[in-house]
Structure 1
Amino acid sequence: MRQPSPRHLAEGPRVGIRRFTPADGAEFTARARESQELHRPWLFPPTTEETYAAYARTLIEDPTRSGYLVCARESGAIAGFINVNNIVQGGFRCGALGYGVFAHAAGRGLMREGLGLVVDHAFGELRLHRLEINVQPGNAASIALARRLGFRLEGFSPDFLFIDGAWRDHQRWALTTEMRAASPTGQGRRAE
């Protein structure tokens, strides 16, 4: 991983990750509104500045969550978002990843790069041992991303999350620090 610029926690060749701020509301919500067709029925990020303010405040203040914006390195434009939710320390040291790319950045590998940076950060700075991704079985793009980053399918959880008015089944994917270290690149993902 390269030395990040002062505005990013970590950087890859094309993106950097940084924390959410209250000032990101206008750009984030505009991108979320533009991306509703892409996101539905899988996720529902905030689309108004009022709902963004509450969302960002939780990610900033709640010690069991840590939120990151994936931004283009050169322009700083927000390409997507990644949250580490349900963080538990102690003997568990685990968190659950949630993420979404915005339509203008979809299909370009930017989320793969950003998610790899967040995984590194979670296993390093956050001192987590295990990360989980819970994905609805029909979300092929998210499942492909989990696979590319070295996550393994561990199981199926019926009626796991309440999304869009109903309890939804999910596949559970996981990655541990040992799995990441044992991968061919030592990073749980293919060499670039």
Structure 2
Amino acid sequence: MSSATYLAQGPRVAIRRISLQDYEEYTALVRESAEMHRPWMPGRPITTREAFESYLTRFEQPLHEGFVICLRDTGAIAGRVNVNNIVRGTNQSGTLGYAAYASTTGRGYMTEGLGLIIQFAFGELGLHRLEANIQPANTPSLNLVKRLGFQREGYSANFQFIDGAWRDHERWAITIEMTGAVASRQTS
């Protein structure tokens, strides 16, 4: 994938919008990571072309944005991030959904990539606040948002139906002020 298609780049990863051309690689990663994701991800894994096309349809709406995190040296997908339930007006907020994959987890790619997504969301998308809802036992995900400066705001009992049961979640958020980006936006 050409770097010209990237929305933002870091030292090791870059972000771009997810597309139909990602079907084979994306679904292979989902299959390889199914057991790792099972306790944490809602819904059925996206493993068919029909399910993938349906997933992409969400991003045709102004309420959702879909991205992949790619390795800069190869273009291979290392993770995915959605900005869901975007609210405009006086809120300018969105909810994050993300996934690392078994073959690339534990190398810091999600930290770097999600950091790029946050910058993009607060810049290009014009958002002010991002929220992540995470099950209390999902230590890798909790550590990820902590590294990026999110703050814990609360606890939501029986928040989402996942893996056959209603699961509690911790509510974490970051605002543009917490990143220091608001000062650079006002001076530019």
**What TM-score do you get using the length of structure 2 for normalisation?**
0.91
> CA 1:45–1:82 in 2, change beyond 3 Å: closer, same or farther?
farther
Correspondences of 1:1-192 after superposition (within 5 Å): 5-43=3-41, 45-59=45-59, 61-181=60-180
Amino acid of the structure 2 residue aligned with 1:178:
E
- Aligned counterparts of 2:45 and 2:127: Cα–Cα separation in 1: 25
Displacement over 2 Å in runs of 4+: none
- CA apart distance, 1:114: 0.4
Amino acid of the structure 2 residue aligned with 1:130:
R
Q: Which runs of 5+ in 1 are unaligned?
A: 187-192
Deviations 1:5-54 (A, max 9, x none): 30200000111100011111111001110011221210154122221111
**What TM-score do you get using the length of structure 1 for normalisation?**
0.89
- Aligned counterparts of 1:98 and 1:125: Cα–Cα separation in 2: 19
SS at the partner of 1:103? coil
- Aligned counterparts of 2:61 and 2:133: Cα–Cα separation in 1: 21
SS at the partner of 1:87? strand
- Aligned counterparts of 1:20 and 1:57: Cα–Cα separation in 2: 11
SS at the partner of 1:105? coil
Q: Percent identity?
A: 55
SS at the partner of 2:56? helix
Q: Which runs of 5+ in 2 are unaligned?
A: none
Deviations 1:120-173 (A, max 9, x none): 000001111110000000100000001000000000001111222322110000
Matched residues, number: 179
- Aligned counterparts of 2:14 and 2:173: Cα–Cα separation in 1: 23
Tell me which moved more, 129-138 or 163-172.
Answer: 163-172
RCO comparison, higher one (Cα < 8 Å, 6+): 2
Contact 1:159 1:168 in 2 (8 A): yes
